[in-house]
Amino acid sequence: MSAILKDPGVRLRPMTDADVDAVMAIEQAAYEFPWTAGILRDCLRVGYSCWVMEDDQAIQAYAVMSIGGGEAHVLNLCVHPRRQRRGLGRKLLRHLTALARRHAADTLLLEVRPSNRAALALYKAAGFNEVGVRKAYYPARNGREDALILALSL
């Protein structure tokens, strides 16, 4: 019997309809105002670039991106709260950036809550710059929260 443990690592693969329940469990654990399963299924149906990151046990993170007209738009990037701060979000963002470049996008856009400091730090470290604000974009406990629009030139 070997005493060497195998490093399970993480794998990226395209999201499928069969993944929606697992992705929804992460979405609900991470966000006070989560997307619905219908939104995720619509993203798959229309052909958005939808990815899951999994280890040997389960899906740990996912992302949804649209690409067209020379730009890509990260619609959702989420890591399970128990797996945050381990580099999974950074790996997923690098993957999306590479895909956007491969599809000849010249800009990668996203919205983020100003209150989401961890996400802001990730995006700033990846080279994103603030290019605007969408007023009252996100639902919030006491009304609505603005979204910062961030862009990365590819």
**Catalytic amino acids?**
111, 123
Supply 58's token pair: 């389960």
User: Can you tell me the distance from the alpha carbon of 52 to that of 22, in angstroms, rounded to the nearest whole number?
Assistant: 10
3-class DSSP state of 14:
strand
User: Can you tell me the distance from the alpha carbon of 142 to that of 82, in angstroms, rounded to the nearest whole number?
Assistant: 26
User: Can you tell me the distance from the alpha carbon of 75 to that of 69, in angstroms, rounded to the nearest whole number?
Assistant: 16
* C-alpha closest to that of 13 among 46, 60, 82, 66: 60
Dihedral angle at the C-alpha atoms of 63, 48, 123, 57, nearest 10 degrees?
10
Give me the helix-helix angle, 88-102 and 117-125, nearest 10°: 50
Q: How many helices (H) and strands (E) does the chain have?
A: 4, 7
